[in-house]
Structure 1
Amino acid sequence: MCSTSHPPGRSFTWYRNDKSFGNTIKNSLRIEYTKMSDTGRYQYQCQASDSGRSDPVQLTISNDWLILQAPYYAVFEGDPLRLRCYGWKGRKVSEIRYYRDGADVTPSRVNSELSIKQARTSDSGKYHCTGSITTTFVTTKEISPGVSISVQELFSTPVLRAAGSGDPIEGSPVTLSCVTQLNPQKSDTLLQRVFYKDSRALGRSRSSPDYHIPVAGLQDSGSYHCAVRTVTSSVWKRSPELKIAVKLPVSPPHLTVSAAGAWAAIGDVVEIRCESPRGSAPILYRFHHEGAALGNRTVSSRGPGSLALNVTSERDSGTYSCEADNGMASGPRRSALFHLSVLVPVSGATIAADRMGPEVMAGESLNLSCSVESGTAPLFKWLHNAQELAAASGLGLPTTVGNTLHFGSVQLGHGGNYQCIASNQLSPQRVFQAPSEILTITVIEHASPRVVVPVTVSFLFLLLMGVTAALVFYFKCWKKAVCPLEPESGDVEYTVVNIKKRSADKPKGTLPRDNEEYYVSYSVLPDPNPTWESAAGARAPERKSLPDSDIYENVPHL
């Protein structure tokens, strides 16, 4: 049969194996009494006088007792499929069974036909049937030749796609397309589409393959899929899921440093954290120190990116910043600057005096200084005889200026052991200290004023001096002191002897002496022949400008 929409009265041309073999007025062609010589595969095409050729029809001629009749046309998904187990010359066939690829697919109720209401591609395969045929004298069980049946796909499995590359950005439009391909032989088939988000239908079915989201928001993030079906719902296919994450551009990140008061000490490990309050992951955090790259961290979910900084030197101080980037067109966002200061703990404290030796005369000035090998902004505390200097009583306290301890006038009680302690701190709980060694200061009591005796004196003055010396000599010997020896003949030495009684309590810092109640100091005249003018000048306030030979010296004797 050749079905056409052309009006009757037209002629039809018939083809077999692409060759014309006849013309008819009717739209049908009948083949009477096929012969064995006609066995084979034929392709018949009909052509109206003013139309194109039809689709081909395959005809198989067999001389078997039992054959399986199958559709001569192409079978598509959703089409009905009928198979008939047919006996030679229409003879009755009993005990019919149907097989696909060797497996029995006979339904519970079966007659001469196997009917599948809506074929699927899974119904494709090689079919045959078995049955019993009764002739005049005997009943035999026959097997039909196999017939290959291919159920063609009506349309391809749909694929859901989002316009553009990557996930959409908040505030931008989104278009979802449900794409499928119809079989060219079924291009006039009408299809319907339904879109789903998180398994919930987004409206009714539609013929359009697109679904539009005018302004994407965070609520539009989710798992999407679409379904395509024929108008009669005979074929229904679902697309794989498409996950859509509407991205937020990152907000400016916050930089925090795990350092109390923005200070860290050498040897500390400081954690630098960078976090954007808003923004879609993954977020790349980059860290900078003084504008130079320090490192980066990628965060695949909400939360900060962190970097551990080992503080090794003062070079680690300075400004730190970070930037966040999640690939948006707006670009990376940078944090505010954070200034970190590095504290060097004090070490190597040293105490020193502004004079060569450890002895100082009472009444003189004295400066003690304390220095450190390293340390940021050290503070200094002074100890006197293992006690804080402020705790000393009955003494004129020295003044402190920076790292210097200043004595305007040293007293006997200022003698003793001195020590400085340098310190700095990050917090009241983290204090660094470096004590110095101990420095001993000895304070010596000031001797009697210098006395100058001229060489040319009157006899009366010499007599008076002699009497005075005799009395002193007697008094000293009377107190069991060590008396000086008589000078040798020819030696002349002028002296003034001062005898002072010790106080009951010895001041701190005085040198130990013999347990005597008195002590003597001598004034010695270096020049045996001084002039009156030079002796008088030695007593004058400007005596330091005179030659050393005119100055008398105090020599203590214990």
Structure 2
Amino acid sequence: MLGRAELLVLALGLAATAQKATLTLDPPWSTVFRGHSVTLICSTSHSPGQSFTWYHNNKSFRYTIKNSLRIEKTRMSDAGRYQCKTPGSGRSDPVLLTISEKWLILQAPYYAVFEGDPLHLRCYGWNEAGIKGIKFYRNGAHITPSNVNSELSIKQARTSDSGKYHCIGSMKTTFTFTCEMSPAVSISVQELFSSPVLRAAGSGDPIEGSPVTLRCVTELNPQKSDTLLQRVFYKDSRDLEGARSSLDYHIPVAGLQDSGYYHCAVQTVTSSVRKWSPKLKITVKLPVSLPHLTVSATGAWAAIGDVVEIRCESPRGSAPIVYRFHHEGAALGNRTVSSRGPGSLALNVTSERDSGTYFCEADNGMASGPQHSAPFHLSVLVPVSGATIATDRMGPEVMAGESLNLNCSVESGTAPLFKWLHNAEELAAVSGLGLPTAVGNTLHFGSVQLGHGGNYQCIASNQLSPQRVFQAPSEILAIAVKEHASPWVAVAVSFLFLMGVVAALVFYFKCWKKAEGMFFSAPERDTQLPAQHEPPGKGLPPLGSLGLHAEDPLYGNVCPLEPESGEVVYTVVNIKKTSGDKPKETLPRDNEEYYVSYTVLADPKPTWESAAEVRSPEGGFLPANDIYENVPHL
């Protein structure tokens, strides 16, 4: 069984949930003149026949079987708060009754006035006296319409109509008309329902593909709990589906097109009251897509000293997006973009360490997490510098026919290429010579020719593009090519040696037989050197026995017959004494005269063409020159 406490709680709960009775006045004014009558009416949802309890200033003062109570000829003590109830209902809301003794009163409704309700005010005189020139005021401001009479009617009241009202007018008293002003009456137009608020279910902005529910929330006044309300939803000021009784608006699958500004309106069925919510921005977020990494480098190459822009951009994704940059797994930095567009990072290329693999990631806080780009490999080119040229010889001279290597090296530079210049021209431009072979940084001469002599220079180069070429020229290296002794010179020397031996023998024998003559072999003489003394023949008689001076005879070199001839080689010198006529332009020496006969051999450095001409058809050799000339002894 239930205890006392439980029964009391149950009774209180039932009483709280019981429907309130409703109290009304007839006539429906909250202010009446003293001596006038007023009827109180109590209405409930229960069947008639029950008793009614009446309350004045919270005290019960009468019980009736009927649902009405008439107060005849009101007195000043009848003013106050009235309520009623039945055994099956709750106590009604209070109704305030005012009793006035003024000449002019402003009568207002006794009941609470809500938004959308009509509001009627009456300027009323004692004993229904006629009133002229009636004017109405609210909060001291004149609000009388142009066609007003004793009543002021507002068809649909608003909370802004709340305030203190009074009226003035001229009324006829005992002898004349006087201007009277009614006491002020406070009127409060109550809010039917609160201004709505539009809310999105869940926290944060919705993600593409997810459902979205928007709810238009308002609070209805408890005294008007039975009022039916409707809701209208708008997107960017466009009506979505018209008026509805539901509080919610559903988007089954949100897309980017569903982003925008939403608001809702709450209204009564008759549209007498209509209120709008503030706008709510809905941004349907798009998960970030895989970003693309691009580098402002030609062919994935950059040179030291360049500034390379690294760009990361996701084709799809809601901002803000954070782009993070990485090099060989190490973080370089990040950029945040608040709208569509890429994030970029400037990379100063300072060394070859800046080469390697780069990638970026994009993140806009979605549950899918950061998205990574494909890797990008950047190569760093070091411009060539400090080119030098060198030879594999100890000195700058090389003999014709020998091999020769020239090497070109650089202090720094990525994959340099080498170009070779000979006498300021590219080797390919030199004609008439066997071209050397260029392999890497080496220029190889298999067999050096005389025409290969001259000035050599190498130019090292590398490039990022045809428009960006780096070059480093070396210093100039001079190469001298010397020719080996000609075979004809060797034959001539051998021939002279043999003739010298023969001449010495002949001279030796003739010295004993004939004192006037002397034969000896003269060595090869360079015409560019000054005149030299010829040594006497070994084992020969002294010069005095031959009738000659003791000093050595001197022989001057004779100018060659042709200016371009080479050296003059004496093979046999025959000195004869004569008493005949002197040759022209000879000088006497101790009253004795001598004559010299000499032979000029072929040029010791014949060309290949001249060597071919001196060969006889039978295979023998003929001298290139066979010139004999007598000159006087010096």
Measured in 1, the distance between the counterparts of 2:230 and 2:318 equals: 35
Residue 476 in structure 1 maps to residue 525 in structure 2: yes
Residues 426/519 of structure 1: CA separation in 2 closer, same or farther (3 Å cut): farther
Tell me the residue number matched to 2:618: none
TM-score by length of 2: 0.70
**Alignment map for 1:212-227 (pairs within 5 Å):** 212-227=250-265
SS at match of 2:525: helix
Give the distance between the partners of 2:309 and 2:413, measured in 1 at CA. 23
Shift in Å, 1:34: 4.3
Per the alignment, residue 306 of structure 2 pairs with 268
Could you tell me which residue of structure 2 aligns to residue 401 of structure 1?
A: 439
Of 61-70 and 103-112, more deviation after overlay is shown by 61-70
Closer, same or farther: CA 480–297 of 1 in aligned 2, 3 Å: closer
Structure 1 distance, partners of 2:503, 2:95, is 166
1:55 match: 93
Q: How many angstroms apart in 1 are the aligned matches of 2:530 and 2:72?
A: 172
The alignment partner of 1:518 has SS state of coil
- Which residue in 2 is equivalent to 1:420? 458
In structure 2, distance between residues paired with 1:193 and 1:246 = 23
User: Is there any run of 5+ residues in structure 2 with no aligned partner, and where?
Assistant: 1-39, 491-497, 508-518, 536-559, 570-634
Moved more, 365-374 or 217-226: 217-226
**1-side partners of 2:209 and 2:194: how far apart?**
33
What are the within-5 Å matches in structure 2 for residues 78-477 of structure 1?
78-446=116-484, 471-473=521-523, 476=525
Q: For residue 393 of structure 1, report the CA deviation from its aligned partner.
A: 2.7
The Cα of 1:322 is off from its aligned counterpart by 1.9
Could you tell me the TM-score, scaled by structure 1's length? 0.79
Q: Distance in 2 between matches of 1:470 and 1:447?
A: 27
Secondary structure of the residue aligned to 1:61 is strand
How many angstroms apart in 2 are the aligned matches of 1:129 and 1:253?
Answer: 75
User: Hey, what's the Cα distance between the residues in 1 that align with 2:98 and 2:71?
Assistant: 13
Q: Distance in 1 between matches of 2:447 and 2:352?
A: 41
Q: Partner amino acid for 1:103?
A: A
Kindly state the Cα deviation for residue 185 of structure 1 after the two structures are TM-superposed: 1.8
Alpha-carbon distance, 1:32 to partner: 4.0
Name the counterpart of 2:567.
518
Which residue does the alignment assign to 2:51?
Answer: 11
Secondary structure of 1:394's counterpart equals coil
Q: Name the amino acid aligned to 1:20.
A: S
Superposed displacement of residue 486, structure 1: 7.9
- Whole-angstrom CA distance in 2 between matches of 1:135 and 1:251: 89
Could you tell me which amino acid in structure 2 is paired with residue 133 of structure 1?
M
- Cα distance in 2 for partners of 1:178, 1:241 equals 11
Q: RMSD of aligned C-alpha atoms? A: 3.2
Contact preservation (8 Å) 2:291, 2:314: yes
User: Structure 1 residue 125: deviation in Å?
Assistant: 1.6
Q: Given the superposition, is the C-alpha separation of residues 480 and 97 from structure 1 closer, same or farther in structure 2, using an over 3 Å criterion?
A: closer
Find the counterpart in structure 2 of residue 527 from structure 1: none
Q: In the TM superposition, what is the alpha-carbon distance from 1:77 to its structure 2 partner?
A: 0.5
1:378 shift after superposition = 0.3
| Structure-1 separation of matches of 2:191 and 2:503 | 148
Q: Provide the C-alpha distance between the structure 1 equivalents of 2:305 and 2:568, rounded to a whole number of angstroms.
A: 60
Q: Deviation of residue 150 (structure 1)?
A: 1.5
Secondary structure of the residue aligned to 1:260 is: coil
**CA 1:412 to 1:241, structure 2 compared with 1: closer, same or farther past 3 Å?**
same
1:436 partner letter: S
Q: How much identity, in percent, do the aligned residues show?
A: 78
- Alpha carbons 1:274, 1:304 under 8 Å: kept: yes
Instruction: Judge conservation of contact 1:476–1:482 (CA < 8 Å) in 2.
Output: no
Distance in 2 (CA, whole Å) between partners of 1:298 and 1:204 is 41
State which structure, 1 or 2, has the greater radius of gyration over its C-alpha atoms: 2
Change (3 A) 1:466 1:143: farther
Q: Output the CA distance in 1 between the equivalents of 2:520 and 2:386.
A: 59
Partner secondary structure for residue 418 of structure 1:
strand
User: Following TM superposition, by how much is the alpha carbon of 1:472 offset from its aligned partner in structure 2, in angstroms?
Assistant: 4.1
Distance (Å, rounded) in 2 between the aligned partners of 1:109 and 1:138: 26
Amino acid at match of 1:336: A
Select between 463-472 and 230-239 the one with higher mean Cα deviation: 463-472
Contact 2:228 2:269 in 1 (8 A): yes
Pick closer, same or farther for the CA change 1:194–1:472 going to 2, 3 Å: farther
Distance in 1 separating the partners of 2:325 and 2:91: 74
Partner SS state of residue 160, structure 2: helix
Confirm or deny: 8 A CA contact 1:380 1:420 kept in the other structure: yes
Q: Does 1:26 align with 2:66?
A: yes
Q: Deviations over 1:433-477 (max 9, x none)?
A: 11111112223334689x9xxxxxxxx99966978996444x527
CA positional deviation for 1:384 = 0.9
Residues 83 and 95, structure 2, Cα contact 8 Å, conserved in 1: yes
Structure 1 unmatched runs, 5+? 452-459, 488-501, 506-514, 521-558
Is the CA contact 1:196–1:202 (under 8 Å) kept in the aligned structure 2? Answer: yes
Give the counterpart letter for 2:376 in structure 1: F
Distance 1:191 1:308, change over 3 A: same
Name the aligned partner's letter for residue 375 of structure 2. L
1:277 partner amino acid: P
Distance 1:42 1:103, change over 3 A: same
